[in-house]
Amino acid sequence: MYSNFQDLNLCREVLEALSEMGFEEPTPIQKAAIPPAMEGNDIIGQAQTGTGKTVAFGIPIIERFRKSRTPYALILAPTRELAVQTAQELNRLGRGKGAVSVPIYGGQSIERQNRALRKGVDIVVGTPGRVIDHIQRKTLSLKNIKILVLDEADEMLNMGFIEDIERILREIPRDRQTMLFSATMPKGILRIASRYMKAPIRVSVDTEKIIVSNIRQVFYEVREEDKIKALTRIIDVEDPALALVFCHTKREVDEVSSKLQQMGYYAGAIHGDYTQSHRDKVMERFKRGDIDILVATDVAARGLDISDVSHVFNYSIPQNPDNYIHRIGRTGRAGRSGIAITFVTPREYRNLRTIERSAGTKITKASLPTKEDLRKAHREEIISEICSIINNQEHLNYSQLVDELSERFSLHEIAAAALGVAFSSIEEDDILDPEKPAVTLENGYVKLFVNIGRKDRIKVGDIVRLIASGANIPGKMIGNISLFDKFCFVEIPHSLAERVIDSINNTLINRRKVYVQRAKNSA
């Protein structure tokens, strides 16, 4: 069996590109698909996202590259995001041979795509609808297509693209190589294969083995109204590198992401109602780690290939087993481990068992982290932060203050008191229940919740300046400020509260967008 890419008899340019991309050895789907594809056979590949199928069909495409005036390869993908990512990967793979890949998709200026096509393109990666647009405008010629790839074919079926795909297939010469890749093989996909492919060779990866080996799967039984609290508690304890949160509807995506932002988490959202430019910006911030929680619908997150996603949350249980496979395939990528967490209400146990049977896997019931777990996680976080401050000598600015306090207290007492201040933010569990009444103080002040805190490198003076300058009120009129790790409370005269909320909501401080609202009663 092939243990490395050299065994596949690839050209020097492709081997160098694979090395630059950080690939050391072929994945199972690459080992199974590349040799027969290199011989020109039609391929049906069954593999979930994250198993390396882009390289599996990309290598045969680049190996057969010959420069011509019109595209020689066409890849159809279900979503804009997958089209863009596939084109990027093929450009990296084909750089040494000069192969140019261009994505075409709805939501981007068609004139911009026309200009790219006129310059000369070797490989087109497109969504079916936009490919048809270009065919009708005669801006895309398929007469020289030698290789066709249907990527994530089951998802294109689910999205209603089958008629579009068949129309495109009729535009392409019959003397071509066709490769179809899909996580599942519903009847509609098999019908296309039998009608439009020539003696295809079937290759597959053991989906169950991939899921079980790389991804720990658990579920928590929670009431619908407790999901947001369960989500934040798990995030606080497990501290994921990057997390994907899946919801059924666009409205739910907006609600969940908004609540997370208000509670001080770095969260973003994507779904079909957002413009493409907005989705691109959010995805770029997610890849950079500027936001570490991305809330999305199934369709919007289709094809995302981000290797550092450590946690996938099924905030809403998937509506079918195929969606479950696709969702959890966003973690445990490139050989890394990951965890898939599903929230299940008591009524949804039947759905859960159906998913287990169809996916051939076991999803283990787990208990939500307790407040003690939160305290332990907080303790480790504070210890780590203290060590970092000392190692970077950031504590030296406070040496004089420690000297002054040491005249009255022991160093042990000073340190314990400082830790007490740090740990005070742990009692943040129920601060933002929107059903609770707003806090009104007896002294004519109201308490405002602001979603910035110590972790944003914010000090009390920064809050005062933000409010005083933003709302144009004297700093002395601002009452007590309670600063925690991820948020703060500010007391403002009742008559000025709306002015403050309107003036500083959605402003930026330390590159962090500020959200303000009246605090809720914790009683």
Measured distance CA(207)–CA(304) in Å, rounded: 18
In a domain, 431, yes or no: no
268-306 pLDDT, tens digit each: 999 878 887 888 888 888 988 888 999 998 766 665 667
pLDDT score of 276: 79
pLDDT for 2 equals 64
Confidence of residue 81 (pLDDT cuts 50, 70, 90): confident
What is the model's pTM? 0.52
Distance, in Å, from the CA atom of 473 to the CA atom of 459, rounded to the nearest integer, reads 19
Closest of 523, 493, 311, 365 to residue 433, by C-alpha: 523
Is 51 within a domain?
A: yes
pLDDT score at 312: 93
81 burial (CB, 10 Å; 0-12 / 13-18 / 19+) is: buried
pLDDT of residue 431: 36
pLDDT for res 302: 63
Q: What is the pLDDT of residue 421?
A: 67
User: Is 174 a domain residue?
Assistant: yes
pLDDT given at position 430: 41
Residue 127 has pLDDT above 90, yes or no: yes
Q: What is the pLDDT of residue 200?
A: 94
CATH of the domain at 474: 3.30.70.330
20 plus 146 within the same structural domain: yes
- Using the predicted structure, report yes or no on whether residue 6 has a pLDDT greater than 70: yes
- The predicted structure's pLDDT at residue 378: 73
Is 428 a member of any domain? no
Q: Residue 84 CA to chain centroid, in angstroms?
A: 15
Residue 246 has what DSSP assignment? Answer: E
Q: Mark whether 199 and 314 lie in a shared domain.
A: no
Does the pLDDT at position 39 exceed 90? Answer: yes
What pLDDT digit, counting tens, does each position of 194-253 carry?
999 999 999 987 654 455 457 889 999 998 888 998 999 999 888 898 999 999 888 899
Considering the domain architecture, whether residues 303 and 340 belong to the same structural domain is answered as: yes
Q: Are residues 356 and 377 in the same domain?
A: no
* pLDDT tops 90 at residue 319: no
Residue 342 has pLDDT above 50, yes or no: yes
Q: Is the pLDDT of residue 371 over 80?
A: no
Residue 514 has pLDDT above 60, yes or no: yes
Give backbone dihedrals phi and psi of 170, rounded to 5 degrees, phi first. -70, -20
Coil vs helix vs strand at 446: strand
Can you give the residue range of the structural domain that contains 291? 214-363
Q: Whole-angstrom Cα distance, residue 131 to residue 250?
A: 26
The β-bridge relationship of strands 242-246 and 309-314 is: parallel
Residue 418 and residue 476 share a domain? no
Q: Among 72-81, 207-216, 318-327, 353-362, which stretch is predicted with the lowest mean pLDDT?
A: 207-216
- Phi and psi of 507, rounded to 5°? -80, 170
| Contact (CB, 8 A) for 80 and 107 | yes
Residue 97, CA distances (Å) to 17, 74, 90, 122 in order: 10, 18, 11, 11
- Give the mean model confidence (pLDDT) for residues 54-82: 91
Predicted confidence at residue 440, as pLDDT, reads: 58
Q: Which of 222-231, 237-246, 356-365, 464-473 has the lowest mean pLDDT?
A: 356-365
Q: Kindly report the CATH number assigned to the domain that includes residue 185.
A: 3.40.50.300
Name residues whose C-beta falls within 8 Å of residue 187's C-beta, 6 or more positions apart in sequence: none
Q: Is residue 495 part of a domain?
A: yes
Is 436 inside any structural domain?
A: no
- 440 within domain boundaries: no
Question: If pLDDT is split at 50, 70 and 90, which confidence band does 73 have?
Answer: very high
- The tally of domains found in the chain comes to 4
- 126 with 227, same domain: the answer is no
Q: Counting every residue, how long is the chain?
A: 523
Read off the pLDDT band of 429 (50, 70, 90): very low
The pLDDT value recorded for residue 522 is: 44
Confidence of residue 50 (pLDDT cuts 50, 70, 90): low
Residues 225 and 333 in one domain: yes
Amino acid at 278: H
The residue assigned the tokens 């969606």 is 323
Spatial CA neighbour of 220 closest among 316, 342, 371, 339: 342
286, part of any domain = yes
Give the pLDDT confidence score for residue 404 in this predicted structure.
85
Q: What is the DSSP letter of 490?
A: E
Dihedral of alpha carbons 447, 450, 455, 461, sign: negative
The reply to whether 277 and 383 lie within a common domain is no
Q: Per-residue pLDDT averaged across 494-523, rounded? A: 79
pLDDT score for 442: 62
Beta-carbon contacts of residue 398 (< 8 Å; ≥ 6 apart): none
Mean pLDDT of 348-358: 81
Looking at the fold, whether 238 and 265 belong to one and the same domain comes out as yes
- Residue 96's φ and ψ, nearest 5 degrees, are -65, -25
Whether residues 40 and 77 fall in one domain: yes
Domain-ending residue, one of 205, 236, 259: 205
Domain boundary pick from 342, 363, 384: 363
Give the chain's mean pLDDT: 84
Is the same domain home to 403 and 335? Answer: no
Q: What is the band of 128 on the pLDDT scale with cuts at 50, 70, 90? A: very high
Query: 98-107, 179-188, 507-516: which has the minimum mean pLDDT?
Result: 507-516
Q: Do 152 and 187 belong to one domain?
A: yes
